[in-house]
Amino acid sequence: MSTVVYLNGERVDYENARISVEDRGFQFGDGIYEVVRVYGGRFFYLDRHLARMKKGADEIYLDMDFGLDNLEKVCRQALKESGFKDASVYIQVTRGAYPRQHTFPPESSCTWVVIVREAKAQPREFYENGVMGITVPDERWNRCNIKTVQLLANSIAKEKAKKAGAYEAIFHRGGCVTEASSSNVFIVRNKKLLTHPANNFILHGITRGVVLEIARDNKIDYSEEVFSLQDLFEAEEVFVSGTMTEVMPIVKIDGKIIGDGVPGEITRSIMKAYDALTKTIDQ
């Protein structure tokens, strides 16, 4: 079992994988990406990730000239060759290499990469006891719904969380919570589950969508609506969601205890339902 890399549809050794210095992903951050989780050899909603990637490509006028069906085929082949049962599959597509200019090249060929690695599970105590978060101003651009490789603001926020001994940094814009540096944010207020609407200020997370489906199927009252920093601090429960994060309870933010200081009832029920899905979904 080993990490597998496919570059432009061909398998290459990890150590020898190379792209051009003129690649627009390297020079401009002109590209998009996805991270897909694999459980027990089964893709967890690969179809939804690829659909979001196609939508993101359309938003930035990027023609994925290699074909989405071909990309899916390579993802599945790379996973098989890796031998991993629990894996993360990283997909990146850029506009390709062309002599540097801000305008899009008249003709270009995408650079596309698939990397399959063994997935490292989060420590169980994180889910059992909850983790800490901090809040930071949301200084990103206004098209957060596009999953681009332009992640400097996210990386700075994540580094601030790390230095504070926290798991995640929660963004706020104009006094309202948007999402976190690498996950979506949910709160429980008056027994109702709330998360920011799926507009241009957040990434429309695949796991976020699954959580909302779980809430619907389990008759949990929920709403997609804007909520404030005060709502966050006064919430009965807080959790974040993401492909590698899964459903992670937050029990302290900026040093303030959330609710009873332990993962709440609604959070635990969603965690349980999500865990059950990871053992059955293969899409």
- Give the residue numbers marked as catalytic: 147
The residue to which tokens 């990283």 are assigned: 90
The residue to which tokens 């959580």 are assigned: 211
Q: Mind giving me the DSSP string for 222-258?
A: EEE---BHHHHHH-SEEEEEETTTEEEEEEEETTEEP
For residue 12, give every residue at least 6 positions away whose Cβ sits within 8 Å of its Cβ, in sequence order, or none.
Answer: 5, 6
> What does the angle CA 202 – CA 205 – CA 209 come to, to the nearest 5 degrees?
120
DSSP E strands in the chain: the ranges are 4-7, 10-12, 31-39, 42-43, 87-94, 111-118, 131-137, 168-173, 176-180, 184-189, 192-195, 222-224, 237-242, 246-253, 256-257
The residue to which tokens 């850029």 are assigned: 94
Residue 65 neighbours by CB distance under 10 Å: 12
User: Which whole-number Å values give the CA distances from 165 to 180, 187, 212, 244, 267, in the listed order?
Assistant: 16, 22, 29, 19, 22
